[in-house]
Amino acid sequence: MNQVSKRAKWFLTAVALVITLLHLIPYYILLTTAFKRAGDFSSKWMFPKYFSLENFTAAWEQANLSNAFMNTFVITFFAAAMLILFGSLAAYALARRQTRLNKYVYMLFVAVMVIPPLTALVPLYQLVVDVGLMNTRLVAVLNNVAAFLPLTIFLYAGFIRSTVPKELEEAAKMDGASTIGIFFRIVFPLLKPITATVLILSCVYIWNDYQFAIFFLQDSDMHTLTVALASFFGQNTSQLGLVGAAALIASLPMIFLFLFLQRFFIEGLAAGSVKG
């Protein structure tokens, strides 16, 4: 399918470049907006003639982004760590031991993937209030872990079934190793590729989470980047430069990660897009 004449190739390259340019427009507008001082009402299509980081420093201070960064980082880190630990353990038992109980438990995880988390908003909110976890980073961690666990288990179980050879485990068992020892010393290291996928998928998902954070982290000390950004926008609807700067700052960590680990991102998100 790749055999085309030189001329056709030039044409297709031109088409691809035009598409690329069209897709760059919003980022271009974001940059021109973020670098323009307050009161500069020149066209959004033009960069300012001066260079100023005023918006960035102002947004960093006013939106309390350092605090939001810390919260987002802590929540993402602990949730991802828990997902990998709990998810891989659960998947191992479910993939290796085909007991009747395990079949039902696996079905439960698959069925739960269909429930949209937000439809249970009202009781979930009440539950969080009742157990006294409102406005804690812990609730954001647990919520994100619960929401992402079914997909994590699904991905790990598929990988264990298809690619991890049973023989190694059986040999270790002969030598008298415990189940947990076998899992951590032999199986878990073999799960590296799928762990990378889970890590990337869950980090993007949790870092960008707004739905859960807006409900459970309303106290401004607990704001994550998305919540801080939304409330900052509410206060500065006429100062788009500030909002643009804050939006850019909030997105940079994931953009850098993406550009450096692009291959893993694209393969991982394609594999995990089963969840949507």
Partner 1 sequence: MDQPLSSTEQAKKAKKRRKESSLWWMYLPSVLLVMLFIVYPFLDGIRISLTNWNGFSQIYDYVGLEQYKRMFADPDTWLVVKNTLLYGIGSTVLQNIIGLGYALLLNYNLKVRTLTRTIIYLPVIISPLVMGYIWYFFFAYQGGALNDIYNWLGLDPINALGNPEVNPYIIVFVNTFQFVGVAMIIYLAGLQSISKEYYEAANIDGASSWSKFKNITLPLLAPAITINVVINIIGGLKLFDVIVSLTNGGPGNASQSMSTFMYSLYFARQDAGYAATQGVLMALIILVLSLAALLYLKRKEVEA
Query: Residues 86 to 115: which contact partner 1 by CB under 8 A?
Result: 86-87, 89-90, 92-94, 96-102, 105, 108-109, 112, 114-115
> Which residues from 234-263 bind partner 1, rule CB under 8 A?
238, 240, 243-244, 247, 250-251, 254-255, 257-259, 262
Q: Which residue from 95, 109, 88, 72 is spatially nearest to 198, judged by alpha carbons?
A: 88
Q: Which span (38-46, 49-57, 60-68, 185-193) binds partner 1, by CB under 8 A?
A: 38-46
CA dihedral 196, 202, 205, 206 (to 10 degrees): -130
* Cα 24 from Cα 31, distance rounded (Å): 11
Structure tokens at 11: 């044409």
Q: Which of 5, 51, 119, 189 binds partner 1 (CB under 8 A)?
A: 119
**90: Cα separation from own chain's centroid:** 21
What is the closest distance, in whole angstroms, from the C-beta atom of residue 41 to partner 1 in the complex?
6
67 or 102: whose CB is closer to partner 1? 102
Q: Which of 60, 69, 188, 233 binds partner 1 (CB under 8 A)?
A: 233
Asked if 65 interacts with partner 1 (CB under 8 A), we say no
44 or 161: whose CB is closer to partner 1? 44
Asked if 171 interacts with partner 1 (CB under 8 A), we say no
Q: Which residues of 248-267 are buried (b: 16+ CB within 10 A; e: fewer)?
A: bbbbebeeebbeeeeebbee
Asked if 25 interacts with partner 1 (CB under 8 A), we say yes
> Which residues from 176-195 bind partner 1, rule CB under 8 A?
179, 183
* Cα 197 from Cα 267, distance rounded (Å): 8
* Cα 224 from Cα 68, distance rounded (Å): 5
DSSP-derived secondary structure for 67-86: HHHHHHHHHHHHHHHHHHHH
Asked if 173 interacts with partner 1 (CB under 8 A), we say no
- Total of chain residues touching partner 1, rule CB under 8 A: 96
What is the closest distance, in whole angstroms, from the C-beta atom of residue 115 to partner 1 in the complex?
5
Asked if 9 interacts with partner 1 (CB under 8 A), we say yes
With contact defined as beta carbons under 8 Å apart, do 51 and 35 qualify?
yes
Q: Which of 47, 50, 77, 125 binds partner 1 (CB under 8 A)?
A: 125
- Which secondary-structure segment (H or E) carries 6? helix 6-34
Q: How many other β-carbons are positioned within 10 Å of the β-carbon of residue 68?
A: 28
Q: Which of 217, 229, 242, 245 binds partner 1 (CB under 8 A)?
A: 229
62 or 102: whose CB is closer to partner 1? 102
Residue type, 260: F
Q: Which of 65, 75, 142, 222 binds partner 1 (CB under 8 A)?
A: 142
> Which residues from 146-165 bind partner 1, rule CB under 8 A?
146-147, 149-150, 153
Structure tokens at 107: 């079905």
Name the phi and psi angles at 165, rounded to 5: -70, 135
